[in-house]
Amino acid sequence: MNSLKVKDLCKTYIINKIQNNVLRNISFEIIEGEMVAVMGPSGSGKSTLLYVVSGMDNLTAGKVDYFGKEMSSLGANEMSDLRLDEMGFVFQQMHMLKNLSIYDNIILPAYQSKKVKDRKEINNRARDLMHKLGISEIAVNDTNQVSGGQLQRACICRSLINSPKMIFADEPTGALNQQNSREVMKELNGINQEGTTIMLVTHDMKVAVRCDRIMYLEDGAIKGEIALGKFTDENEFRERERKVNNWLMEMGW
């Protein structure tokens, strides 16, 4: 089965001649179709892990095998193409281009891709994604004319436009209220159930509860993990939340 394999991953920064080991000998595997959360205290290296695993930041040592592609062996252009064509990204800060409409922001990565595509096909896919995520009515709006929840759903559409193998999400609900957070997580659950692999960083237990598995990061190392299985029934939420809360207390959360 295809998977993302991380082996003995290390990330070190040198600041004022002082070595800071942010990630230390991290190993894990995410199977195709899984939805995995990374939790841990502030400064534990969660976002750094996401950036290094997705190739947005360089690793210091170790290996990342992205569904059969050894990422450290790829050149800068090859890595850029891999991120564009086979990965999707959703961040806490939306990073939308302010001079483009919502619709144009969504189609932009597909127009930039070197994959041979018919532009009509791209446009149809963008419209289908927007319809599916309930934001068709904001297509021509500017980025400052929509709510935070709508903008984050647009970011999810943009992350899916090139049909990536995997989505990397860094605090995808961090800037949202509880209602919008729930809606965005329902969309991510739906996308995952359709087969897209997801790795997300969160400080929000209600977000992590919706994932198949949670890894707990502390001082740059994985301290523990808990398997929850697929989230398919809202009625299971409270029981899963209780289980995760107890586990997080054991981890020292």
pLDDT for 178-217, tens place per residue?
A: 888 888 898 899 999 999 999 999 999 999 999 999 999 9
What average pLDDT does the segment 119-139 reach? 91
Query: What token pair was written down for 60?
Result: 């210091």
Taking the C-alpha atoms of residue 246 and residue 224, their distance in angstroms, rounded to an integer, is: 13
Burial state string for 105-130 with b = 16 or more CB within 10 A and e = fewer than 16: bbbbbbeeeeeeeeeeebeebbbebb
Question: What distance in Å separates the CA atoms of residue 210 and residue 187, rounded to the nearest whole number?
Answer: 11
Task: Write down the mean pLDDT value for the chain.
Answer: 91
More confident residue, 147 or 1: 147
Which pLDDT score, from 0 to 100, does residue 94 have?
66
Per-residue pLDDT, 80: 92
What type of residue is 123? Answer: N
Q: How far is the C-alpha of 56 from the C-alpha of 50, rounded, in Å?
A: 8
Percentage of the chain beyond pLDDT 90 is 69
Domains contained in the chain, number: 1
Give the alpha-carbon dihedral of 88, 4, 213, 25, to 10 degrees: -110
Cα atoms found within 13 Å of the Cα of residue 237, Cβ hemisphere only = 10
Contact by Cβ (8 Å): 228, 213: yes
Q: Percent of the chain at pLDDT above 70?
A: 99
DSSP helix/strand/coil, 179: helix
According to DSSP H, which parts of the chain are helical? 46-53, 76-86, 102-112, 119-132, 148-160, 178-193, 205-208, 237-251
Instruction: Provide the pLDDT for residue 34.
Output: 97
User: pTM, whole model, 2 decimals?
Assistant: 0.92
- pLDDT tens by residue, 28-55: 999 999 999 999 998 899 999 999 999 9
Find all residues with CB under 8 Å of 138, minimum gap 6, and list them.
102, 145, 146, 150, 154
pLDDT at residue 118, rounded to an integer:
84
| The two structure tokens encoding residue 85 | 């064509």
Residue 169, amino acid: A
Pairing of strands 197-201, 213-218: unpaired
Average pLDDT over residues 57-74: 93
Structural domain containing residue 44: 3-251
Q: Is 34:225 a contact under the CB 8 Å cutoff?
A: no
- Are 9 and 62 contacting, i.e. CB atoms less than 8 angstroms apart? yes
User: How high is the pLDDT of residue 231?
Assistant: 94
Contacts of residues 227-235 at CB distance under 8 Å and 24 or more positions apart, as own/partner, are 230/35, 230/193, 231/35, 231/189, 232/193
pLDDT tens-place string over residues 84-118: 999 999 987 767 888 899 999 999 999 988 775 78
**Mean pLDDT value across residues 234-249:** 95
Q: What is the CATH number of the domain that holds 136?
A: 3.40.50.300
